[in-house]
Amino acid sequence: MNQPKRYLDIVLDIRKMISQENIRPGDRIPSERELAETLKVGRSTIREALRSLELLGLIETRRGEGTFLSDYRNHRLVEVLSTFILQDNQSQKDVWETRLIHEISAIRTICGDANSSRLPVWTGFSKRIDEGDFFSREDFVREIMVLSGNRLSLKIWLLLAQYSGNPYKERIIIEETAMLENILAAIRQQDTEKATEGLKTWIAWLQKETGKDDDDS
Amino acid sequence: MNQPKRYLDIVLDIRKMISQENIRPGDRIPSERELAETLKVGRSTIREALRSLELLGLIETRRGEGTFLSDYRNHRLVEVLSTFILQDNQSQKDVWETRLIHEISAIRTICGDANSSRLPVWTGFSKRIDEGDFFSREDFVREIMVLSGNRLSLKIWLLLAQYSGNPYKERIIIEETAMLENILAAIRQQDTEKATEGLKTWIAWLQKETGKDDDDS
DNA sequence: GGAATATGAGTGGTCAGACCACTTTCAAAA
DNA sequence: TTTTGAAAGTGGTCTGACCACTCATATTCC
């Protein structure tokens, strides 16, 4: 093993600094020159660390203004990684499969909790469907993930959603509204099996529809 | 927006070069100085691009040797992001819960697959228990995760296991062998419900047993 | 001749300093 | 008061210089 890479330490140092100073998404982090002096390394080393974090979408830099902690949602990462990684079918499949793991678990949690399965959000979705307000597929599932109450699972899901390609981000179409209504109804009835089956059916349909077909699971 | 970032172009340039030159995982890519001259940018800009790709696990650099395209199945993505994501919710509960999500899903996969539920590994574990060869709890579950076949899920699980504290890493004790045998039997019989319930019971016991002590660095 | 050793070229790792382009601020000028 | 513009601070880039390390080669030693 060589010497450990400096810039990797820097990444961790910055992360520590963020939590110590209680820097929140959107806040500014110290300038490159400032960090260099504080951490006693050259500015170029700082930059290598920052550029890495930027590519991951964890920070955002604006010339003349500074560097900001970003919301973990806007990953330029997606474009880059998708050209490298997601060409591999297995990886692509793993992403969808893993995402589904979290989604099903969330549904199970919600169905097992009388409170959350009776929240007005469910009728809200039905209403929007009826009114032709076609939200995106991701929006729909995100609501489920949020309501499950496991924030870590939610964060992982958010990442996986970023990797899930366009179809997941697009608006629902008329053909699938019945499937969604089915899921919603099952949740309202706290019918775990029906809800999870409904979700699986929908996702399977979606995968088949968008042409990236693979074996069913 | 500002001028597009140079280093981002470089990332794409390198990507293009890799496919044009037909560079395969494990192969060496041109040196930093070479790239700088070819692409007509400073070496520091090249380095910012390379460092980003390295943090993603897409390339691997060895001082004195060069930079190599790595097998991008092993993306370090999860690990890096985790240090940021786990920052605000240190909640041990979320970690255990999320880990359990992946474990249960893996068990479901295995039980649904006749081949993997008949693998000799299961009798192997029983034998080791009988012989008093007490493996660690993590070892036991890892085998399940590996056999599920979802590498991304495995990757996430490995990470979560790392955050799961000492009890998860320690060897099993005599009191829990019955629970493990129970799980193994259920898997052999492809009894999904019994297996998942067995796992949940075991984990609940473990959490209760160890009270709670954790340790992160 | 063969084996140990020294050398040098090439590579990534780091640093310091210099510009540039850009944004914000605020004091001076209108 | 409004407008203007200079200054300070920021990220973006380049250059050149070392350092630490690897590897192939040449050299020396036995």
Reported as a single tens digit per residue, the pLDDT across B128-173 is 888 888 888 999 999 999 999 888 888 778 777 866 777 888 888 8
Looking at residue B82, its pLDDT comes to: 55
- The torsion of the CA quartet A10, A16, A18, A20, rounded to 10 degrees, works out to -140
- One domain for residues B101 and B200: yes
Residues 119-158 of A with CB under 7 A from strand D: none
Q: What percent of chain A has pLDDT over 90?
A: 39
3-state secondary structure of B41: coil
Spatial distance between the Cα atoms of B134 and B207, rounded to a whole number of angstroms: 19
Please list every residue in chain B whose beta carbon sits closer than 8 Å to the beta carbon of residue A104.
Answer: 105
Whole-number Å distance, CA A66 to C1' C6?
Answer: 51
User: Which pLDDT band holds residue B83 (cuts at 50, 70, 90)?
Assistant: low
Contact A153 B58 (CB under 8 A): no
Average pLDDT taken over every residue of chain B: 82
Which tokens belong to A127? 């209403």
B120: pLDDT strictly greater than 50: yes
Q: Evaluate whether residue B216 is within a structural domain.
A: no
Identify the domain boundary among B69, B89, B124: B69
- Asked if the model's pLDDT at residue A95 lies above 80, the reply is yes
Q: Examine the domain organization and report whether A91 and A34 are in the same domain.
A: no
Assess contact for A75 and A164: CB atoms under 8 A.
no
Is pLDDT at A74 greater than 50 in this prediction? no
Which of A29, A48, A63, A151 is best to mutate for the B interface (most B CBs within 10 A)? A48
Mean predicted lDDT score pLDDT of chain A:
82
Residue A197 lies in a domain: yes
Lowest mean pLDDT segment, chosen from B20-29, B66-75, B102-111, B184-193: B66-75
Q: Please say which residue of A48, A69, A90 terminates a domain.
A: A69
B61 CB contact with strand C at below 7 Å = yes
Same domain as B191, residue B107: yes
Q: Which nucleotide C1' is nearest A63 CA?
A: D11
CATH at A169: 1.20.120.530
Q: Does B142 touch chain A if contact means CB atoms closer than 8 Å?
A: no
pLDDT at A90: 63
* Residue B105 belongs to some domain of the structure: yes
B24 touches strand D (CB under 7 A): no
Same domain, B186 and B92: yes
**Per-residue model confidence (pLDDT) at position B212:** 45
Range of the domain at A190: 78-209
- Tell me, in Å, how far CA of B39 is from C1' of D19? 26
Do B137 and B48 belong to one domain? no
CATH number for position B30: 1.10.10.10
Residue A126 and residue A202 share a domain: yes
Tell me whether residues B81 and A56 touch, CB distance under 8 A. yes
Given pLDDT bands bounded at 50, 70 and 90, which one contains residue A217?
Answer: very low
Whether A15 sits inside 8 A of B97 (CB atoms) is: no
B15 interfacial to chain A (CB closer than 8 Å): yes
- The answer to whether residue A55 sits within a structural domain is yes
Comparing B137 with A20, the larger pLDDT belongs to B137
Residue B33 phi, psi (nearest 5): -65, -35
The predicted pLDDT at position B5 comes to 67
pLDDT tens track for A110-157: 999 888 888 888 888 888 888 888 888 999 999 999 999 887 788 788
Confidence (pLDDT) at B76: 54
The pLDDT assigned to A78 comes to 46
Nucleotide whose C1' lies closest to the alpha carbon of residue A46 = C14
Same domain assignment for residues B41 and B99 = no
Q: How far is the CA of A64 from the C1' of C25 (A)?
A: 13
3-state secondary structure B143-188: HHHHHHCCHHHHHHHHHHHHCCCHHHCCECCHHHHHHHHHHHHHHH
Q: Is B208 on the interface with A (CB under 8 A)?
A: no
Examine the domain organization and report whether B51 and B133 are in the same domain.
no
Q: Which residue has the higher pLDDT, B104 or A167?
A: B104
* pLDDT (mean) for A60-89: 65
Q: Which has the minimum average pLDDT: A18-27, A166-175, B172-181?
A: A18-27
Residue B27 lies in a domain: yes
Mean pLDDT of all residues in A6-18:
79
Q: How far is A25 from chain B (nearest CA, A)?
A: 11
Residues A45 and A102 in one domain: no
pLDDT band at A179 (very low <50, low <70, confident <90, very high): very high
Judge if B135 and B170 occupy the same domain: yes
Q: Does A82 touch chain B (CB under 8 A)?
A: no
B137 touches chain A (CB under 8 A): no
What pLDDT does A213 receive? Answer: 40
Q: Which of residues A69, A86, A115 is at a domain's end?
A: A69
Q: Tell whether B51 and B122 lie within a shared domain.
A: no
CA at B67, C1' at D23: how many angstroms apart? 15
Residue A65 lies in a domain: yes
User: In terms of domains, do A98 and A201 share one?
Assistant: yes
Distance CA A156, CA A125 (A): 24
Does the CB of B1 fall within 7 Å of any strand D atom? no
Q: Does the nearest atom of strand C lie within 7 Å of A43's Cβ?
A: yes
Residue B217 inside a domain? The answer is no
Report the number of distinct structural domains present in chain B. Answer: 2
Q: B67 Cβ partners below 8 Å, 6+ apart?
A: B28, B29, B31, B32, B50, B59, B60, B61
Residue A215 lies in a domain: no
